[in-house]
Structure formats: C-alpha cells, structure tokens
Amino acid sequence: MGEMKVSLCGIELDNPVIPASGTFGFGYEFAELYDINVLGTFSFKGTTREMRFGNPTPRIAECASGMLNSVGLQNPGVEKVIEEELPKLKKCFGKKVMANVSGFAVEDYVYCCKRLGECEQVGWLEVNVSCPNVHGGGMSFGTDAKSAAEVTSAVRKVTDKPVIIKLSPNVTDIASIARACEDAGADGISLINTLLGMRIDLKKKKPLLANVTGGLSGAAVFPVALRMVYQVHKAVKIPVVGMGGVSCAEDVIEMMLAGATAVEVGAANLINPYACRDIIEKLPEVMDKYKITSLKDIIGGIG
C-alpha cells in the first residue's frame, strides 16, 4: 500500500483528509457512526469570541451540484468550546484537532487564537478571514491584502501554534492576498471558503434564504477551488490546505497535484456522514491506479 502520511506545518498526519469546519461539528456526533481517529485531523465548527445564534431561517437552499448556506457562524462561543466541547471530543479523538476561528474585529481573532492556542488538544489555528470587518464598513478581512495581513500579524504574536489563514474566493487576485499573509507570519493557507450566491423562490418571488445571499459549496465549486489552490501554491512557500467541492479520493489527488498538502472535505459530509472515512479507504486503490507510491511526492506535481 502507498504511503499516505503528510506533514502539515510540522505536524504529521496519517493521511491528508480533513473534514472542513462547519460540516463536522465538534466531531463527537460523527464518532457515534465510525472511529474518527482514521481522519488526518478535522477542523471544528467556526468559533467566535461570544456565543452566536446565527442568521435567521431558512439558512439552506439546494442547487444543482451544490448547496447554499447562510448559517451565520452559530456557535457557543470560545469559552464554552474550551470548557465543554473539547473535553467531550477528547473522549473519542486522540489526535490534534484544527481550531477554526472567526471574528468581526482584529481583537476578536486575537482573543480566540490566544485562548484556543493554550489548549493542548489544538494542533493548528485555522483563521477564517472571510468575516465582515466591523471597523472597516463590513467588508471581509479576506478581500483586502492589508486587512488579511493585519489579522495574521496580530494572531501570530499571541500563539506558538501553526496559524493557517483561510481565504475567501470572492476576490480577483487571491495569490496576492496569500502572499501578504505569508509575509505577515502565516504558517499555511487554506482555501477556498464558499462562493457568494443566491436562489429565488419563483412562487413567492423572494430569495430562498432569509439572508438573501449565502455561500455556495459542493461539487459545482471544485474547478474554481482547484484553480485557486494551484495559483496560491505557485505564489507562496508555505503549505496550502485545499478545499471546495471535494467528494471522492480522485478529487483529493487532484487537489494535491495542484499544490495542496492536505485536503478538506465539506459539503460531502452533509450528504454522506461517512464521506471522509470512505475517501480514506478508497485512497490506496486510487494511488495504486495512478502509480503513486507516496502522497508527499505528488504535492504540486502537476506537469
């Protein structure tokens, strides 16, 4: 069997498959279905400084080859995550976990990263800069290189854990934003977050989502995600975590050839709760089919 181990920011993973934030909760629900220790790791639910109820319903809308969501970062807040969620997780997951952090001001990111960075269970901090900057007119931190770098620099100062900046695809030049984050001290880049979209109810002549627009995920976004992973890998020297429409072992191989060191699986978990387990089980067969002896060797190996 081929070698599936990879190293992400200095931490070895048994395989590169990582359930994406927002699609795997805090892990223990899935542990009732299968042994989640087969995963490389997983990125837990996006966590903010204060508890958030999220956006009004309806929050989900189906579309061809994907789905729209506007959940709005519903979570119990960072202190509850540390006090309640991580202890539950420890009972069923023995590996380092990736903490996904969101915020609406630089101070929010700093506080959450400092607190979660102090947790022994946390291996990486995945910092989602797709949130609105409340001090910048509501524009996402991740749509501006200077703002993304500001967040990166601020969180880098308060933790020794690897900082992976999660970028928004809703930009014209994602490579320049990735480079700015690298220059500001990021240890890795993850992408893509969801693409902005909407659907309309023809009978009611109103948007299907209460929030009007939402994030598009699923197989429909895979070619866009692959292109952006390729561009960012060419632009930076730090590891890239690829995601966006990944639903099978072949997709994982494509992402890695484009430049991803590890690969997150999102919407597929909502369709099939065993998706990540099934992908991991299928990877050796796909590696053998394409004569791949080690996944480390194919990172950025596109001809």
pLDDT at residue 303, rounded to an integer: 67
pLDDT digits (tens, 9 = 90+) for 37-95: 999 999 999 999 999 998 999 999 999 889 999 999 999 999 999 999 999 999 999 99
Task: Give the domains, in start order, of the chain with CATH numbers.
Answer: 6-298 (3.20.20.70)
Alpha helix stretches (DSSP H) within the chain: 28-31, 78-80, 86-90, 106-117, 145-156, 174-183, 222-235, 249-258, 267-271, 275-289
Q: Which pLDDT score is estimated for 189?
A: 98
> What pLDDT, on a 0 to 100 scale, did the predictor assign at position 209?
95
pLDDT at 212: 93
How, if at all, do strands 206-207 and 11-13 pair?
Answer: unpaired
- Let me know if 131 is a catalytic residue: yes
What's the pLDDT tens digit per position in 202-232? 999 999 999 999 999 999 999 999 999 999 9
- Give me the mean pLDDT over the 128-151 stretch: 83
Question: What local confidence, expressed as pLDDT, does residue 138 receive?
Answer: 58
| Mean pLDDT score, 23-41 | 97
Residues 234-252 have pLDDT tens digits of 999 999 999 999 999 999 9
pTM: 0.96
Instruction: Give residue 133's pLDDT band: very low, low, confident or very high (50, 70, 90).
Output: low
Tokens of 178: 């990735």
Per annotation, catalytic residue among 9, 113, 131, 181: 131
Task: Using a pLDDT cut of 90, give the percent of the chain over it.
Answer: 93
Closest CA to 42 of 76, 19, 17, 70: 19
Label residue 131 by pLDDT band (50, 70, 90).
confident
Give yes or no for residue 10 having a pLDDT over 70.
yes
Q: What is the pLDDT of residue 203?
A: 97
Quote the pLDDT of residue 136: 66
**Which pLDDT score, from 0 to 100, does residue 31 have?**
98
C-alpha neighbours within 13 Å on the C-beta side of residue 103: 25
Write the CB contacts of 178 (distance below 8 Å, at least 6 apart in sequence): 165, 167, 189, 191, 232, 235, 236
Structure confidence at residue 139 (pLDDT): 64
